[in-house]
Structure formats: C-alpha cells, structure tokens
C-alpha cells in the first residue's frame, strides 16, 4: 500500500502511530497514514514558533513572501492532476469535481501572493501637537489550521494563503478521513522553498486536535468542520486564549419563486445538493418552493436525480460518487428513517446502494406536511434534499430564517425588487441570486450562528491574521517635565 508522512520543520517524518485509509469506492484499505499524537503536535508547533521569529521568515520582505506564494500556486497548478487523483481515491469525491476545484485552488494562492505587500498600517491625526502616532499591522503568530476531508485543498488555501501573506506560520492538521492530498501537498510546500517550520502538515484524530488547539504557542485557530467539534475547540482555546475563526456548515435555504426560470433553478439545485454527493458546507439542502410551481419543479428534480450516473469516482462520466465514510452513510439512513417517521414523504432515493463502497443515491424528501422532521433541522452532509412549499414572500423569508445556521442561501426569481428584499431579509453570510455555489478568492466566505464566525477569502481574511501595534513618537526636543516638580 501507499505510505504517507507528516511534514514537520521542513522534513518528512513518520507518525508516532499509523492507520490504514479506506477507499470509499470499495471499502478496502489502500494506504498507510501517519497518526499524530500530542508529541508530534508539540514538535510541529515548536517548529512553527521558532520559524515565526527567525530571520529567514520574520526578516523576509512582504514582497518575497508573495513570490513564495506565487511559486506554490504554480506548483499546485502543475500537480493538480496528481492531487485530484489522490483526493478522489481517498475521499470518493468524483474526479470531474476534484480536477476542476484543485485547478482553481491555485488562484487563491495567487490572490494572496499579490496581497502580501499590500497589508498596510495607517497614520492617526492625533489630538496632541508634539506626537506622531501610527498603526502597524503585524502577523498574529502561529496559526493552527484544521480542515475536514471534503474540499481540503480549497479549505486549506483559504487559511494558508492569508496567514502566510500576513507573515504568520502554520500548523495544518488534515482530517484522519482522507488526508492523502494534503500530505502530498506538503511535497509542493517543500519544493516551493518555504523556510523550515513555516508550514507544517500532519494528520490525526481528537488527541492531536486537543493538543493543537490548546497549545500555549498557538495564537489563532482557523477551523472548518461541525458545531460539536467547534465547541471542543473553543473550550480548548481557553488554555491559550487563541483567537478563533470557525466555518461550521449550514442548513442552507434554496428559494424558488413561481416567476423563476425553473430549468435553470433545477440545474442549480441539483448542483447545490447533489454535487460532491451532498458533502458540502454550502449545500442547498432545504428547498423552499412556491406552491404554485411545486409539483412541476419537483418533477424536474426527481427526473434529474434519478438520471444521475452513480459510479466509480475516478471515471469522468460519474456524477454521483460514494460518501467518504461508512459511518456517514449509516447516519444518513438513520436521519431519513426518523424524518419519514415524522411525516416526510419519500420522493426518490432513501436507501444506500447495495454492494461494495459507501454509495448513497440522490434523495428527495417532501416535508410540506412534516414541519418538525429532523431533515429540516439537521445537516445531513449527504445527497438529501428536504422540500417545503410556501405561498407568499413573507412565508418564504420566515422559512428561510427558521434555522440555527446562517452560512449560505439561494434565491431564484426574475423580480429584481423581490430579490433585494430577500437579500436584506435572509440571515446568512452568503446570498446567491439566480446562481449557486459560486466562489472567488476575492469574495469573503462565512456565516454566523451555528455556521460560525469570521470570514475566509478577500482582504478581510488576511487582516484577520494580523494584530495592530500602536506606535507613539514624540516630536518635541524639549525635555519631558519632571512629574514630581510643581509648576
């Protein structure tokens, strides 16, 4: 089997322990992965802290940091086919998606390469005539970046890019589910020529996560995952008082009004919930459709769902690949059963595909008469769409905001004034109008509520990895008066 290693302090190293990674398409072990423990994490954080203050990194100009990021971007682009194949093998995400996404990941590193020497301070018009005061933006320190298995190269880029542009150093922890592409990415980091310790990459489970997030030398924790894990991270960060940015997924509303282009909306909905086999933080998993077009729209969706080609993820014709893990498949089946018991109606799908691998078909649940069904509240992280109908715009907005999450949303309508009203009213970090799942390195990405806090992408993300230093310079040549002499 293939073997992978950690990347710590500029060198590749075996973990204290190892584990076998399973191919989601077959359920068989295909590679041996390193498993970090607290000692491995301490070595990585210590290396990152040492690099943060070293002349090789701290003394490097911002423009030089940008050139290193540009070199990394070029390497990601050149090695995208290999990275995509590894992600498909280790996570089950279909090759047509990993190929397209990883090719675009290079643009994130290019964006932050260009931004590295544009993170500026400012001068303050202070109210004291003999003082000059200005603000310096300086890197916050060692960053603990923790990413899940899905879209891991993208989710790493939106953390590594701005953190490195700001001058921070990073310990990146890959998920123990499907870590191969990030461990391979470490070879590109090494080839790009970053000083040892600036970027460290390891994989591990809860022990590694606890050790990393509570480490006294970690200043900022950037995490993508679920709310339950985020709560553990926030508690662990009480040890070091590290700043946190959390991107935690959602239960995003996908709203279709009767005047929408139904074919366009149906294609966007299929992409929004069935792409990546539904394993996306922005999945449009709650369809809110106006009652007058509900049956016609559901008929379109049902036809598209049942026509989707389920197959091996490494084949370009495959449209639905396997789920990443068997436990995720089992959890989805259990949630569907609970939702059906609560009154939801099964439109299509609903049961795991028999045979090898962790396959699950596109599934649609009509919950119009089951407002308390679990599928309307809980994130499946799978290809399951829950449908509710509405009559008025006011009802649509109320249903859209009936969630503890607040990451993404979609609105499909030809009515421009209605679109603006919905944009104002929806409580979510992202509103897509007549489109869905569009991303760019220029645009901030994030949410609120159980979807977390902080933003990834854009200038705001780079500033989030800085701290402000206030500098006071006295300009008078007169001596400072003795404070103990009365005048």
In a domain, 442, yes or no: no
Known catalytic membership, residue 87: no
d(CA 425, CA 448) in angstroms, rounded, equals 15
In a domain, 18, yes or no: yes
What is the pTM for the complete model shown? 0.94
In a domain, 310, yes or no: yes
User: Residues 241, 291: one domain?
Assistant: no
Write phi, then psi, for 482 (nearest 5 degrees): -70, 120
Q: What is the pLDDT of residue 1?
A: 82
Q: What is the pLDDT of residue 398?
A: 97
- Domain of residue 64: give its range: 2-247+457-472
Q: Quick one: what percent of the chain has pLDDT higher than 70?
A: 100
Q: What is the pLDDT of residue 114?
A: 97
**pLDDT above 90 for 209:** yes
User: Residues 284, 166: one domain?
Assistant: no
Average pLDDT over residues 438-467: 94
Q: What is the pLDDT of residue 150?
A: 87
Catalytic residue chosen out of the listed positions 87, 247, 319, 456:
247
Total domain count, the chain: 2
**pLDDT above 80 for 278:** yes
Position 125 confidence tier, pLDDT thresholds 50, 70, 90: very high
d(CA 53, CA 138) in angstroms, rounded, equals 12
What is the per-residue pLDDT across 345-401, written as a single tens digit (0 to 9) for each? 999 999 999 888 999 999 999 999 999 999 999 888 999 999 999 999 999 999 999
Write phi, then psi, for 8 (nearest 5 degrees): -135, 125
User: Residues 138, 278: one domain?
Assistant: no
User: Residues 234, 366: one domain?
Assistant: no
CATH number of the domain that 161 lies in?
3.40.605.10
Q: What is the pLDDT of residue 355?
A: 86
User: Residues 280, 235: one domain?
Assistant: no
Average pLDDT over residues 103-115: 96
User: Residues 343, 216: one domain?
Assistant: no
DSSP 445: B
CATH number of the domain that 270 lies in?
3.40.309.10
d(CA 250, CA 103) in angstroms, rounded, equals 26
d(CA 328, CA 349) in angstroms, rounded, equals 16
Write phi, then psi, for 153 (nearest 5 degrees): -70, -35
Q: What is the pLDDT of residue 354?
A: 87
d(CA 85, CA 94) in angstroms, rounded, equals 9
Q: What is the pLDDT of residue 486?
A: 77
Average pLDDT over residues 230-235: 94
Three-state SS at 29:
strand
In a domain, 451, yes or no: no
What is the per-residue pLDDT across 318-348, written as a single tens digit (0 to 9) for each? 999 999 889 899 999 999 999 999 999 999 9
In a domain, 329, yes or no: yes
Q: What is the pLDDT of residue 319?
A: 94
d(CA 196, CA 14) in angstroms, rounded, equals 17
In a domain, 447, yes or no: no
In a domain, 445, yes or no: no
Q: Which of 450, 447, 444 is nearest to 426 (CA)?
A: 447
d(CA 447, CA 328) in angstroms, rounded, equals 24
User: Residues 67, 123: one domain?
Assistant: yes
User: Residues 340, 395: one domain?
Assistant: yes
Q: How distant, in Å, are the alpha carbons of 33, 202, 302 from that of 40? A: 14, 8, 49
User: Residues 289, 174: one domain?
Assistant: no
In a domain, 485, yes or no: no
Q: What is the dihedral of CA 218, 222, 227, 231, to 10 degrees?
A: 20
User: Residues 239, 364: one domain?
Assistant: no
Contact yes or no for 437/271 (Cβ under 8 A): yes
User: Residues 221, 270: one domain?
Assistant: no
Which residues does residue 468 pair with via DSSP β-bridges, in sequence order?
137
User: Residues 287, 238: one domain?
Assistant: no
């Amino acid at each position: 089997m293939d073997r992978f290693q950690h990347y710590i302090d500029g060198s590749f190293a075996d973990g204290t322990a190892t584990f076998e990674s399973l191919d989601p398409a077959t359920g068989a072990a295909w590679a041996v992965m390193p498993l970090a423990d607290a000692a491995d994490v301490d070595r990585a954080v210590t290396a990152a802290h040492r690099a943060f203050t070293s002349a090789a990194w701290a003394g490097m100009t911002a423009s030089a940091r940008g050139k290193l990021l540009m070199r990394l971007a070029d390497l990601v682009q050149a090695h995208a086919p290999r990275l995509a194949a590894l992600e498909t093998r280790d996570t089950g995400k279909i090759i047509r998606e990993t190929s397209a996404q990883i090719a675009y990941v290079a643009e994130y590193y290019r964006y932050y390469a260009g931004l590295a020497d544009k993170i500026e301070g400012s001068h303050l018009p202070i109210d004291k005539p003999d003082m000059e005061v200005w603000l310096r933006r300086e890197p916050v320190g060692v960053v603990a970046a923790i990413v899940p298995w899905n879209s891991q190269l993208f989710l790493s880029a939106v953390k590594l890019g701005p953190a490195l542009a700001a001058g921070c150093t990073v310990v990146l922890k890959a998920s123990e589910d499907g870590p191969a592409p990030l461990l391979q990415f470490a070879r590109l980091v090494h080839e790009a020529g970053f000083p040892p310790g600036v970027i460290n990459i390891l994989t591990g489970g809860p022990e590694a996560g606890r050790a990393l997030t509570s480490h006294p030398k970690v200043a900022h924790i950037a995490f993508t995952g679920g709310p339950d894990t985020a709560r553990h991270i926030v508690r662990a960060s009480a040890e070091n008082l590290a700043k946190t940015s959390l991107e935690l997924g959602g239960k995003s509303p996908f709203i279709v009004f009767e005047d929408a282009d139904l074919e366009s909306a149906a294609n966007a909905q299929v992409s929004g919930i069935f792409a990546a086999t539904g394993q996306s933080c922005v999945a449009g998993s709650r369809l809110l459709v106006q009652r007058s077009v509900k049956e016609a729209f559901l008929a379109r969706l049902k036809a598209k769902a049942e026509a989707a080609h389920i197959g091996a993820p490494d084949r370009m014709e495959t449209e639905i690949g396997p789920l990443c893990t068997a436990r995720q498949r089992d959890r989805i089946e259990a949630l569907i059963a609970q939702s059906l018991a609560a009154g939801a109606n099964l439109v299509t799908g609903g049961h795991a595909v028999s045979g090898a691998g962790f396959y699950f078909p596109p599934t649609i649940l009509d919950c119009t008469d089951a407002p308390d069904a679990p599928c309307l509240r809980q994130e499946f992280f799978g290809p399951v769409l829950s449908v509710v109908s509405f009559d008025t715009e006011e009802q649509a907005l109320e249903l859209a905001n009936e969630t503890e999450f607040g990451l993404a949303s979609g609105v499909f309508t030809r009515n421009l004034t209605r679109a603006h009203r919905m944009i104002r009213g929806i409580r979510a970090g992202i509103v897509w109008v007549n489109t869905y799942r569009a991303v760019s390195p220029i645009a901030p990405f994030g949410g609120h509520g159980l979807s977390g806090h902080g933003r990834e992408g854009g200038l705001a993300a780079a500033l989030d990895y800085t701290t402000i230093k206030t500098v006071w310079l006295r300009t008078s040549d007169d001596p400072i008066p003795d404070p103990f002499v009365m005048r």
